[in-house]
């Protein structure tokens, strides 16, 4: 059994400011602490911690889970745990300050940036992309269509290898747009007629943020999302900082060898953010308390925007949409990139949050683990 669990609790009944507290307890002490907390706050039965911990330990034992998880409801952390190595070669351990590459979980931050500019009247969601990027090679594609993957713009993962000769050179969003201009790729379908997941669309949205704000995309997101949310351990990919390895989890292959970063790692908007379970918890609280978006704008992001798809299998603005077994709405996003597996799930009815961050390709949180955590929360609720 894992002896040391590093986690933090952030609470304030009177304000939206949360103090960060870290505890290093033996497992029995953690069990006692959470059990006391559940009872004091009349949330769940005393068995909740033990049941959640049992599922986590089975993930480690049976599925070789390597990473961190956090389960919360509103501003209350119900369970948090980390296990394994940030770097298998050096045996550097993972802890709650370890930054994981979020991969496509990054898309919700891009959507928030666009929606903030929408709230400020600096763009309309119906605006053509060419209004902001005149050289964009597809006419009639709107910002809204990029957000909900109905643009038909082809995914750069399917054509970049063909046109990038020097793969030792890190390309960025501008390089990608120039590639599209120089090597036109036809739309996969007429814009607005179907759904097709496109990383290119979110890389283009990041460029729109830059054009309107006059800042680099990482600078904008840091100033208007990370900092207001208190996310001090979150950043965009930086080659030098990453290679120095401080508080970064390296992505690993199944054989536990480190994934070498490739030339596509410099493209942001669709991916590129590194964060911790603690910072993502803070971000979720900022989102829930409308620090980042107004309530009505946030609801737009959580609404289905693909009318030809089921409401429980849909995409909003930066979020996938699903339902739990009781029909309650879930908004979530997963990520898979260079050995990193991530999952961020919100249940809207009761503000339950489940975060998985892992830096090795595995099935440790697959096979209904998130469903099982939700089921346990429902069964142990007072």
Express each pLDDT in 88-129 by its tens digit.
999 999 999 999 999 999 999 999 999 999 999 999 999 999
Q: Could you tell me the pLDDT band of residue 20, with boundaries at 50, 70 and 90?
A: very low
pLDDT at 199 exceeding the cut of 60: yes
Minimum mean pLDDT among 111-115, 338-342, 363-367: which range? 363-367
Report residue 244 as tokens. Answer: 């120095």
pLDDT of residue 241: 79
Tens-digit pLDDT profile for residues 21-75 = 333 344 555 666 666 666 566 678 879 999 999 999 999 988 889 999 999 999 9
Contact, 138 vs 312, CB < 8 A? no
Average pLDDT for 337-354? 95
Report residue 325 as tokens. Answer: 């077994």
Report residue 158 as tokens. Answer: 């399917």
pLDDT of residue 78: 93
pLDDT of residue 261: 84
pLDDT of residue 366: 57
pLDDT of residue 285: 97
pLDDT of residue 260: 86
pLDDT cut 70: percent of the chain above it: 87
Identify which of 212, 72, 28 has the alpha carbon closest to the alpha carbon of residue 131. Answer: 212
State the DSSP string of 225-287. IIHHHT-TT-EE--HHHHHHTTTBPPPB-TTSPBPPP-GGGG--SSS-EEE-HHHHHHHHHHH
Residue 109 CA to its chain's centroid (Å)? 8
Residue position matching structure tokens 């107004």: 294
pLDDT at 151 exceeding the cut of 80: yes
Strand 92-93 relative to strand 76-83, pairing: unpaired
Contact, 187 vs 220, CB < 8 A? no
Residue 202 CA to its chain's centroid (Å)? 14
Q: Could you tell me the pLDDT band of residue 188, with boundaries at 50, 70 and 90?
A: very high
Report residue 16 as tokens. Answer: 């939206």
Average pLDDT for 353-378? 84
Contact, 345 vs 370, CB < 8 A? yes
pLDDT of residue 19: 33
**Spatial distance between the Cα atoms of 325 and 188, rounded to a whole number of angstroms:** 34
Q: Could you tell me the pLDDT band of residue 239, with boundaries at 50, 70 and 90?
A: confident
Cα distances (angstroms) measured from residue 274 to each of 174, 221, 308, 347, 351: 21, 13, 34, 23, 24
pLDDT of residue 74: 93
Contact, 269 vs 91, CB < 8 A? no
pLDDT at 11 exceeding the cut of 60: no
The set of residues, in sequence order, having a beta carbon less than 8 Å from that of 309 and lying 6+ positions away, is: 195, 315
- Grouping H, G, I as helix, E, B as strand and the rest as coil, residue 162 is helix
Average pLDDT for 6-26? 33
Tens-digit pLDDT profile for residues 261-316 = 889 999 999 999 999 999 999 999 999 999 999 999 999 999 999 999 999 999 99
The set of residues, in sequence order, having a beta carbon less than 8 Å from that of 218 and lying 6+ positions away, is: 235, 236, 268, 272
Residue position matching structure tokens 């290679």: 243
pTM: 0.90
Tens-digit pLDDT profile for residues 170-184 = 999 999 999 999 999
Q: H helices of 120-158, where? A: 143-147
pLDDT of residue 321: 98
Residue 317: CB atoms within 10 Å: 27
pLDDT of residue 46: 79
The set of residues, in sequence order, having a beta carbon less than 8 Å from that of 281 and lying 6+ positions away, is: 10, 70, 72, 77, 353, 355
Mean pLDDT of the chain: 89
pLDDT of residue 242: 79
Query: Going along 310-375, which residue ranges are E strands?
Result: 313-315, 320-323, 329-337, 340-347, 352-358
Q: Could you tell me the pLDDT band of residue 5, with boundaries at 50, 70 and 90?
A: very low
What is the H or E stretch that residue 52 is in? helix 48-63
pLDDT of residue 31: 62
């Amino acid at each position: 059994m894992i002896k040391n669990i590093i986690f933090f609790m952030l609470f304030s009944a009177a304000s939206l400011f949360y103090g960060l507290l870290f505890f290093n307890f033996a497992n029995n002490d953690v069990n006692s602490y959470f059990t006391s907390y559940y009872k004091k706050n009349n949330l769940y039965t005393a068995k909740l911690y033990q049941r959640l911990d049992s599922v986590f330990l089975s993930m480690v034992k049976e599925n070789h889970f390597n990473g961190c998880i956090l389960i919360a409801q509103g501003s209350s952390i119900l369970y948090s745990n980390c296990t394994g190595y940030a770097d298998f070669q050096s045996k550097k351990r993972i802890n709650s300050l370890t930054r994981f590459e979020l991969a496509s979980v990054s898309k919700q931050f891009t959507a928030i940036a666009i929606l903030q500019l929408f709230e400020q009247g600096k763009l309309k969601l119906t605006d053509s992309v060419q209004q902001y990027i005149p050289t964009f090679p597809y006419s009639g594609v709107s910002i809204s269509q990029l957000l909900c993957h109905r643009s038909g713009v082809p995914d750069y993962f399917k054509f970049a290898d063909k046109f990038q000769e020097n793969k030792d050179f890190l390309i960025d969003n501008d390089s990608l747009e120039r590639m599209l201009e120089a090597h036109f790729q036809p739309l996969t379908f007429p814009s607005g007629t179907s759904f097709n997941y496109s990383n290119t669309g979110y890389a283009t949205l990041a460029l729109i943020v830059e054009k309107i704000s006059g800042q680099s995309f990482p600078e904008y997101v840091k100033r208007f999302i990370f900092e207001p949310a208190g996310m001090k351990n979150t950043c965009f990919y930086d080659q030098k900082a990453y290679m120095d390895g401080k508080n970064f989890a390296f992505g690993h292959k199944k054989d536990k060898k480190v994934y070498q970063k490739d030339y596509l790692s410099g493209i942001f908007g669709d991916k590129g953010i590194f964060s911790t379970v603690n910072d993502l918890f803070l971000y979720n609280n900022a989102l829930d308390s409308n620090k980042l978006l107004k309530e009505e704008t946030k609801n737009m992001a959580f609404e289905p925007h693909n009318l030809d798809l089921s409401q429980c299998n849909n995409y909003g603005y930066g979020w996938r949409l699903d339902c739990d077994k009781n029909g309650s709405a879930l908004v979530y996003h997963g990520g898979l990139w260079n050995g990193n597996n991530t999952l961020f799930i919100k249940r809207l009815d009761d503000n339950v949050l489940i975060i998985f961050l892992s830096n090795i390709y595995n099935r440790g949180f697959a096979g209904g683990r998130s469903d099982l955590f939700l089921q346990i929360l429902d069964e142990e609720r007072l």
